[in-house]
């Protein structure tokens, strides 16, 4: 059974601790466990014996490291960060540590950006691997296996089912996975059967019942932080006992579906290829992870194309799921990425991480949350759209399926149909929107969100004009903002966004990103870019789930809007 030895820590604390460590040691070739303990204590991110800071360090000093609470706390974080691929061991031992290319991106991402990358790192955890002290024989990408198990178990599981389920299976063996699901289902329906199964697991491992239970703490914390599961009390799994279980969320279900479409590469298969192919797979694995997390990989697109051609027979037209820093030693990954570390001494500076650059575009997440929003609008267009969405939902379609059906249906829409449709979607979100009449040269913008403080001009491009939002649309969005401020026809502020809305996001997102940044630097104005799919996801979620969304994030949008369905 895979054992996650560390207790579950809060996502926000993990990020905060890691960023403090990066701030302190990013110019060092490596850093030690003692370095970590001092930094965590100094920044008062941990306590010992009720004290923080220097007092906690002083009280923790013992000759026996296992009794040194500050050092053990640092070790806990170190193992979590190694598991996530943010740091890696230098040399043959467990310590000292160095930051990885992925760790660089985590440390430099803002609060919204880092969550998507965190999610990809959690999916990247797999066994067996070459980076951790404890090696397991199970060949399993645990969190992928867990999500698929949730799906096969009607979307709900008790924590100990993780132990004798996906923690104890080789998920590459389809028959073994199937037997595991059959066994889990056979135990359901009786608390006595559950007790017997859990006792048999503990006896087979020769451990006390608390050990497997503790092993569920970190994976549950990971899954909750990613928004894949939420707690739900149920007495239907093992009656008559009522237990606090885990329910798969819609976002968790969508993540499971997306993983099924990827080529899942594990250590054994990776080692079966020659050196040239292994290096290509390393680069593809890292860039694919960043791309799925919303980073713009345009600057390395030529490398991706070349490596994809090299690995064509392996990928079979699929994207790659392979996280090198979570699977193999850092020196092999760095060599493939062109990263050179000039020294391995603990406090040496002048570290050259060649090739490390921030490649993410302006990706801003519009966060959805639970709510009780209802669409109260007498507008016939809004009512018609609402009825269509509810009709599709009544066919047991998921939100993502409903979005895709409506999205596909707009591919041939002209200005006459598309502009009012976009305006209607914003009205579903609760905004007051006016659409300019075709041919009215007096109204510079195609539509405008009217607000007492933050009116927002909207430049719209129908798919028959251009399927991908162009540079021209971004320039027109800037012009709209300038004209709105100068004419003062509707109240707005310089900080309020100006929107460009179209069918697809721009083809060349790097060029558009640079233009948006240039406009911000030169004029101080923010340009927001929204594709139809993203706008539909928010609107359909509001109708189906009564979801709330981050209104201020949209009003202050700079760059490309993103949304993850709950």
pLDDT score of 354 more than 60: no
d(CA 140, CA 406): 37
Helices of type H across 311-379: 312-315, 330-337
Same domain, 249 and 388: no
3-state secondary structure of 504: strand
Question: How far apart, in whole angstroms, are the C-alpha atoms of residue 415 and residue 435?
Answer: 11
Residue 174 is encoded by which pair of tokens? Answer: 């389809």
Residues 250 and 374 in one domain: no
Q: How far apart are the first and last CA of the chain?
A: 31
Look at residues 63, 66, 100 and name the one whose alpha carbon lies nearest to residue 81: 100
- Looking at residues 85-104, what average pLDDT do you find? 91
Structural domain that includes position 516: 363-562
Write out pLDDT tens, residues 102-118.
Answer: 998 899 887 667 888 99
Q: Is residue 127 part of a domain?
A: no
Whether 263 has a pLDDT exceeding 50, the answer reads yes
- Cα separation, 114 vs 69, whole angstroms: 29
In a domain, 35, yes or no: no
- Is there a domain that residue 431 lies in? yes
> Does residue 319 have a pLDDT over 80?
yes
- Locate 115 and state its tokens: 């969550």
Average pLDDT over residues 508-535: 87
Last residue of a domain, one of 221, 247, 262: 262
Clarify whether residues 375 and 255 are in a common domain: no
Q: Would you say residue 352 has pLDDT above 80?
A: no
Q: Does position 5 have pLDDT exceeding 60, yes or no?
A: yes
**257 and 373 inside one domain:** no
User: Are residues 367 and 258 part of one domain?
Assistant: no
Place of tokens 């430099």: 108
CA–CA separation, 287 and 72 (whole Å) = 34
Tell me the CB-side half-sphere exposure of residue 389, using CA atoms within 13 A.
24
Query: Which of these three, 216, 235, 262, is where a domain ends?
Result: 262
Mean pLDDT in residue range 197-220: 93
Any domain includes 89:
no
Listed residues 235, 262, 289: the one ending a domain: 262
> Structural domain tally of the chain?
2
- Measured in whole angstroms, the distance separating CA 322 from the mean position of its chain's CA atoms is 15
> Between β-strands 363-365 and 368-369, what pairing exists: parallel, antiparallel or unpaired?
unpaired
The answer on pLDDT for 546 being more than 90 is no
Residues 379, 508, single domain; the answer is yes
Residues 371 and 253 placed together within one structural domain of the fold: no
pTM, rounded to two decimals: 0.64
Q: What percent of the chain has pLDDT over 70?
A: 85
What is the band of 302 on the pLDDT scale with cuts at 50, 70, 90?
confident
Is residue 506, in this structure, part of any structural domain at all?
yes
283 assigned to some structural domain: no
User: What is the predicted pLDDT for the residue at 271?
Assistant: 97
Segment among 1-10, 141-150, 166-175, 518-527 with least mean pLDDT: 1-10
Spatial contact of 42 and 20, defined as CB atoms under 8 Å apart: no
Residue 348: per-residue pLDDT: 38
Q: Is the pLDDT of residue 55 over 90?
A: no
Q: Tokens for 347? A: 């406090």
Q: In CATH, what number is assigned to the domain containing residue 513? A: 3.40.91.30
- Report angle CA 330, 331, 333 to the nearest 5 degrees: 65
Domain check: are 422 and 534 in the same one?
Answer: yes
Share of the chain above pLDDT 90, in %: 62
Lowest model confidence (mean pLDDT) among 58-72, 309-323, 545-559: 58-72
Please say if the pLDDT value at position 508 is more than 90.
no
Grade residue 505 by pLDDT with cuts at 50, 70 and 90.
Answer: confident
Average predicted confidence (pLDDT) for the chain: 86
């Amino acid at each position: 059974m895979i054992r996650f030895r560390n207790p579950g820590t809060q996502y926000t604390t993990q990020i905060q601790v890691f960023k403090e460590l990066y701030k302190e040691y990013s110019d060092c070739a490596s850093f030690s466990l003692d370095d970590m303990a001092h930094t965590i204590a100094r920044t008062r991110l941990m306590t010992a014996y009720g004290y923080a800071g220097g007092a906690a360090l002083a009280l923790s000093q013992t000759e026996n490291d296992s009794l040194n609470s500050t050092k053990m706390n640092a070790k806990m974080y170190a193992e979590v960060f190694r598991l996530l691929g943010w740091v890696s061991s230098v040399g043959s031992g467990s310590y000292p540590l160095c930051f990885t290319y992925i760790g660089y991106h985590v440390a430099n991402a803002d609060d919204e950006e880092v969550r998507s990358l965190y999610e990809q790192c959690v999916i990247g955890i797999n066994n067996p691997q070459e980076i951790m002290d404890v090696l397991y024989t199970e060949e399993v990408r645990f969190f992928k296996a867990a999500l698929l198990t949730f799906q096969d178990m009607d979307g709900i599981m008790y924590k100990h089912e993780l132990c004798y389920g996906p923690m104890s299976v080789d998920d590459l063996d389809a028959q073994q996975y199937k037997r595991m699901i059959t066994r889990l289902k056979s135990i359901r329906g009786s608390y006595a059967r559950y007790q017997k199964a859990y006792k048999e697991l503990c006896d087979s491992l020769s451990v006390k019942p608390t050990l497997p239970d503790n092993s569920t703490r970190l994976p549950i914390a990971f899954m909750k932080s990613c928004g894949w599961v939420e707690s739900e009390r149920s007495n239907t799994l093992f009656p008559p006992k009522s237990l606090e279980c885990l329910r798969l969320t819609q976002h968790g279900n969508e993540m499971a579906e997306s993983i099924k479409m990827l080529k899942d590469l594990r250590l054994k298969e990776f080692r079966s290829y020659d050196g040239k192919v292994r290096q290509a797979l390393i680069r593809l694995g890292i860039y694919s992870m960043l791309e799925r997390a919303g980073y713009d990989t345009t600057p390395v697109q030529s490398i991706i194309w070349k490596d994809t051609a090299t690995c064509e027979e392996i990928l079979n037209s699929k994207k790659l799921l392979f996280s090198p820093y979570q699977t193999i030693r850092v020196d092999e990954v760095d060599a493939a990425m062109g990263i050179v570390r000039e020294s391995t001494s603990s406090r040496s500076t002048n570290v050259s991480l060649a090739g490390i650059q921030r490649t993410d575009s302006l990706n801003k997440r519009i966060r959805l949350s639970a709510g009780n929003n209802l669409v109260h609008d007498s507008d016939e267009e809004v009512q018609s759209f609402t009825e269509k969405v509810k009709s599709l939902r009544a066919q047991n379609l998921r939100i993502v399926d409903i979005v895709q059906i409506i999205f596909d249906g707009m591919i041939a829409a002209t200005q006459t149909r598309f502009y009012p449709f976009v305006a209607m979607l914003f009205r579903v979100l609760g905004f007051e929107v006016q659409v300019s009449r075709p041919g009215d040269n007096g109204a510079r913008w195609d539509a405008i969100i009217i607000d007492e403080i933050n009116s927002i001009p909207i430049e719209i491009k129908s798919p028959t004009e251009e399927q991908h939002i162009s540079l021209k649309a971004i320039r027109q969005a800037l012009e709209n903002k300038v004209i709105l401020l100068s004419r003062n026809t509707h109240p707005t502020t310089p900080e309020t966004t100006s929107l460009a809305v179209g069918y697809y996001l721009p083809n060349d997102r790097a060029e558009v990103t640079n233009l948006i940044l240039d406009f911000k630097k030169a004029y101080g104005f923010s340009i927001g870019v929204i594709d139809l799919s993203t706008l539909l996801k928010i609107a359909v979620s509001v109708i189906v789930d009564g979801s709330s969304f981050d209104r201020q994030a949209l009003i202050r949008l700079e760059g490309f809007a993103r949304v993850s369905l709950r």
